[in-house]
Structure 1
Amino acid sequence: MSRLTLGSNDLLEYNSDYGVLICRDCEYAIQKSAVQSHLLRHKIYRGERQNLLSSIAQLQLHEPDDVSLPTPDTRPIAALPIIDGYRCLQQGCTNLCASAKRMRRHWADVHGGIEDSNVMAREVKMQTFFRGTKIRYFEVSPSLAVQMVDSDEITEEEELLDESEEPISEADGDEFVSESGDDDDDDQMEDADDTTLVPAIISPNFDLEALKIFHHFLSITSHTLPGPSFDVGVRCYWETAVLPLAFSRQWLMSGVLAISEYHASVLTSDHTLAEAHREQALSFFDSFLTGREEASRRVGDTMYNPSKEDERRVGGQLVCILRCAHWALTTNPLLGKSFLSYPFKLQNFVTALRSFTLIERTGSDGTPEEVFARASRIFKGRQNQRQNEEAIALLDRLDRLPSRMSDVFGRPKEVKDVMATLTAIASLVEHYSATFQRENGDSSSTAVWHSMLQWLSKVPDHFRYMISRNDPSALVVVVFWVSALIFRAERSGYWFLSGLSKRLLSEIHDHLRSSCVDALLLVEGLTSEDLAVRTI
């Protein structure tokens, strides 16, 4: 499946397989004629809206009646809610209804009625791209629906970046929307009592070992994790913001305990004990993913709800750390077999990092001209700043990178590729330099972590699309990002990133070797065994 996300925090998702643009907050596809008004509804104004409309204009969007529907053996589309429904069992009929009442009406109108409901229809899981009068249901595979959180497709576990979606109602089956899109439509999205989102505080099955690992999180692990922003203390955040939420949502508590188990495995020199910690971590991790998936499908309205926003934000932060910890620490393939469908690779790593800032819609760094101007000022003043020789050397290379890329890649085919790449380079200059400016105030690890994430959120949507298709020029810039920020974050104490920078660089090397071997000259010295910066 080919997907492209657009907008601040990936509000929109373009699915090229079906030619639809999905709003991930509203959980339905937007008709071409309604895109501008939909962006206004989400309070996206002027500059950002025009940039989005310009990008969307380049996409092939089908009218609702022209969209080909997925087949029943298809994996659910992560940005759409999964609905309980019914498929007609009459031979030759493929009608789908969202309620038993609708199915009975269908049988009465089309097939002459029947007494036995078991002969009439079977229960299915289904989805729809559009709402209102354009509803057209399609069946999806129940088994793949359960496994969806561990999908192998990169963007399919943007799925749990798909936590920017609002959940749907599965409560009142007889009041669900029908395929005809009549007045039952309003009933499907009924508001739910928010207490349905709050499971029991802690299961009675949480034994003494779980309490011990919780104490480990509280006293040790929480101090090693990144905070949500520069102005919030790490310990304060995890103890006063995350844990109270986890006490009321067992799946969040499972995520907390999974992180603590992973961390405990790092601290012991006993191989057997470390393996036991990792095995328990995977068990908690699995419970976390299952609970998160269920929480995303519960009833929710489209109005702002602070409690749900907090839940989604913390869930995104936990899944980011857990994905990285699993990739970094799980060496026994038997332990990781249930997660093999979501392997470590560049695009999955990018998705995991972006989930840490799931709720914040920070937008871009400004126009390309503004980004270029700030980078130019940094280049001019780099000798007078606090950077060490390694940092100055890297800035020198970034300064020369555009001209060297021109020599290697030649005349570009697409101007938008060039602009996206140049903007990404200039943004990296700014975020990399900012880590040194902040070291006298904030801790170095905090500065590096947030600069690493901010670069990913601030680069143009088109540049992230270039990464997803392994464009050589984009991969070259990513190598600089890995060397400048990810490797430094790893060295600064973020144990859950251990070894990941080297594996990223190995993957990118393989892509460049097969697609544009000359591009390796642009990153020579950045990708050596110790990742030392050497000028060419």
Structure 2
Amino acid sequence: MAPTRIGSLLQYEAEYGVVICRECQYAIQKSALESHLLKHKIYRNERQRLVSTLSQLELLEPDEVRLPSPSSGPIDGLPVIDGYRCTIAACGRLYASTIRIKRHCSEMHGNGQSSDTFSIARPAKLQTFFRGTKIRYFEVTNPVSLSESGTAPFNKNRWKATRPNQDSDNKESSTNADCMASATFHDDSGASLSRIDLDTLAYFHHFTTITGPTLPIPRHLERYWQQHVISKALQQRQLMCGLLSISALHLAFLSGDPATARKHCDQARQYSSDFFKTRDEMSDDSDEDEKAKNAAKQVDCILQCAFWTLPVHPLEQASFELVDIVANIRGLVLQNGESDGEEKTPACTTDPISCGDFSIPGTFGAFSSISAFRARLQELPSRMTEAFGRPDNVRDVITVLESISALDKSCESVRVFDDAGQVCQATAMWLTSVPLAFTDLVAQYNPPALVVLTYWTASLLKRAEDYGCWFWSGLAKTILELIARQLATRENAALGLVEDLLR
């Protein structure tokens, strides 16, 4: 049965009861359809039309979907993966990595010797409808070499780097220059590529020399992006595509020519398309390096912010969800914490003069200095009491007060940073120090929570933009406009608390 196209993004497979996103190349669960469309910047009217169309279709839950038989051809819109099938009778398990099939043969069939593994397993071409915890591989025959969009099917070994006289478990290279100089890239057949794409090389060079230092940097890992992440990207094609996309977007930001900026943005979209198509496959594979997985999640957050803020691809602000912006900024720090240990921002233990008071106008967002901001912040609880009166929910009040206290501490700490990467990291860390309930209040457009978010945006986030956090350029203005629009319709008292910050 031929698939049914729904708009340019989706296709419906009636035979299996699934809807496939052709850009992401996997099926979307019923409960995630609307949020998935929003992720692709499909806003209100069009999104509601698509959701209405999809509601009339028979869509099955992942566990209910019947898998195609091994003799079936590949499902259009899904990547074809190189994997393995166990040939033991009544087994037939499918795995997408060599490590997993070896483990299976050893644990389930007693084949302890790796050399014996492939006596009971054979190569197979695999697909899966869903990602995440719902992955269920099925075998296909006669796979096509290219998808309809012209994108090569995913192969986790397609981009790999080898170092002479060293195995794959070696320690990270001391510099990215060493990595690049000794890297040999291979195509799917294993043959060395004799020609180098000079545009790709230029983007790689720009990332390692210019873009890397502008990204969030954990204080305990020097040259985090240029060394630690690059060394992983040279072994993970999808991660490399993400870094190249960030580099292209940075060049678009730096370009003063709209045509050149658009060219870089188009190239960034191509790289990011490859990154997003294989991102979930990477994060779901337990055999992949945990640091590489978390770097990919952080790249995801940076790309989302950069695509939102670039002037050649403006946001449709009227339809955008504020909580999504907050979640992406928060994700920048969470991935560093998971990957490399808890991030610790040093407290400023000396006097304001020796730490730097940032008294030059404009260096602390809407405030003349960090001291002026902290003085206003300390007055905020009493001003809120006057504006809002007796609270309806004591728990919400505690959440807001804890968030104000966390913001005050963040301002005390952030003054010790003086480069873009560290300022970016410290700015985003406030969102990891507030109670989790604070994000819920923002999602509900709770007026007191929006007031606190306004203070953070007009101070720390604006300062981060001034310090060169380019992928946030204009984001403070976007957030403030969204907050102003919400407060104007919900709470005049709250608007009065932040009116001077929204200008």
- Per the alignment, residue 231 of structure 1 pairs with 220
Alignment length (residue pairs): 341
The 1:341/1:244 distance shift into structure 2, 3 A limit, reads farther
Q: Deviations over 1:275-318 (max 9, x none)?
A: 111111112112211110232344x3xxxx7x532122101221
- Per the alignment, residue 243 of structure 2 pairs with 256
Deviation at 1:407, TM superposition (A): 0.9
Distance 1:503 1:510 in 2: 11
Question: Which of 268, 276, 291 lines up with 1:281 in the alignment?
Answer: 268
- Per the alignment, residue 475 of structure 1 pairs with 450
What amino acid does structure 1 have at the position aligned with 2:394? V
Conserved? CA contact 1:364–1:459, under 8 Å: no
- Per the alignment, residue 31 of structure 1 pairs with none
Distance 1:345 1:171 in 2: 34
What amino acid does structure 1 have at the position aligned with 2:308? W
What SS does structure 2 have at the residue aligned with 1:470?
A: coil
Conserved? CA contact 1:345–1:504, under 8 Å: no
1:387 is the counterpart of 2:357: yes
What SS does structure 2 have at the residue aligned with 1:387?
A: coil
- Per the alignment, residue 209 of structure 1 pairs with 199
Distance 1:328 1:346 in 2: 14
Question: Which of 228, 231, 246 lines up with 2:233 in the alignment?
Answer: 246
Distance 2:295 2:303 in 1: 12
Distance 1:341 1:404 in 2: 30
The 1:294/1:77 distance shift into structure 2, 3 A limit, reads farther
Q: Deviations over 1:22-41 (max 9, x none)?
A: xxxxxxxxxxxxxxxxxxxx
Question: Which of 284, 293, 298 lines up with 1:317 in the alignment?
Answer: 298
- Per the alignment, residue 405 of structure 1 pairs with 384
Q: How does 1:85-124 map to 2 (within 5 A)?
A: none
Deviation at 1:504, TM superposition (A): 0.6
- Per the alignment, residue 348 of structure 1 pairs with 324
Distance 2:334 2:420 in 1: 20
Deviation at 1:171, TM superposition (A): 3.9
Distance 1:384 1:423 in 2: 28
Deviation at 1:445, TM superposition (A): 3.3
Conserved? CA contact 1:435–1:444, under 8 Å: no
Structure 1: gaps spanning 5 or more residues: 1-70, 80-92, 104-116, 126-164, 174-195, 366-373, 529-536
The 1:250/1:330 distance shift into structure 2, 3 A limit, reads farther
Conserved? CA contact 1:476–1:519, under 8 Å: yes
Deviation at 1:271, TM superposition (A): 2.0
Deviation at 1:409, TM superposition (A): 0.9
What SS does structure 1 have at the residue aligned with 2:267?
A: helix
Question: Which of 159, 170, 173 lines up with 1:200 in the alignment?
Answer: 159
What SS does structure 2 have at the residue aligned with 1:357?
A: helix
What SS does structure 2 have at the residue aligned with 1:220?
A: helix
- Per the alignment, residue 169 of structure 2 pairs with none
Deviation at 1:415, TM superposition (A): 0.5
1:221 is the counterpart of 2:178: no
1:519 is the counterpart of 2:486: no
Question: Which of 467, 477, 482 lines up with 1:507 in the alignment?
Answer: 482
Q: Deviations over 1:382-413 (max 9, x none)?
A: 79974245211111111110010011111100
Deviation at 1:245, TM superposition (A): 1.2
The 1:168/1:462 distance shift into structure 2, 3 A limit, reads same
Deviation at 1:347, TM superposition (A): 1.1
Q: Deviations over 1:163-211 (max 9, x none)?
A: xx965653478xxxxxxxxxxxxxxxxxxxxxx8554326669732112
Question: Which of 382, 387, 393 lines up with 1:414 in the alignment?
Answer: 393
Deviation at 1:524, TM superposition (A): 2.9
Q: How does 1:6-21 map to 2 (within 5 A)?
A: none
Q: What TM-score do the two structures reach when normalised by structure 2?
A: 0.59
1:290 is the counterpart of 2:277: yes
The 1:249/1:407 distance shift into structure 2, 3 A limit, reads same
Q: Deviations over 1:450-495 (max 9, x none)?
A: 2222210111111111011110000000000101210000000111
The 1:255/1:409 distance shift into structure 2, 3 A limit, reads same
What amino acid does structure 1 have at the position aligned with 2:493? D
- Per the alignment, residue 17 of structure 1 pairs with none
Conserved? CA contact 2:246–2:303, under 8 Å: yes
What SS does structure 1 have at the residue aligned with 2:448?
A: helix
What fraction of aligned residue pairs are identical, expressed as a percent? 29
What SS does structure 2 have at the residue aligned with 1:218?
A: helix
What SS does structure 2 have at the residue aligned with 1:310?
A: helix
Q: How does 1:92-171 map to 2 (within 5 A)?
A: 169-171=135-137
What amino acid does structure 1 have at the position aligned with 2:209? S
1:489 is the counterpart of 2:464: yes
Conserved? CA contact 2:421–2:469, under 8 Å: no
Deviation at 1:243, TM superposition (A): 1.2
Answer with 514-523 or 475-484: which moved more.
Answer: 514-523
The 1:484/1:98 distance shift into structure 2, 3 A limit, reads same
What amino acid does structure 2 have at the position aligned with 1:222? G
Distance 1:472 1:230 in 2: 34
Deviation at 1:345, TM superposition (A): 3.9
- Higher RCO by CA contacts (8 Å cutoff, separation 6 or greater): 1
Conserved? CA contact 2:244–2:268, under 8 Å: yes
The 1:94/1:455 distance shift into structure 2, 3 A limit, reads closer
Deviation at 1:215, TM superposition (A): 1.8
What SS does structure 1 have at the residue aligned with 2:489?
A: helix
Deviation at 1:358, TM superposition (A): 3.4
Conserved? CA contact 2:62–2:134, under 8 Å: no
- Per the alignment, residue 157 of structure 1 pairs with none
Deviation at 1:239, TM superposition (A): 2.2
- Per the alignment, residue 435 of structure 1 pairs with 414
Q: What TM-score do the two structures reach when normalised by structure 1?
A: 0.55
RMSD between aligned residues: 4.2
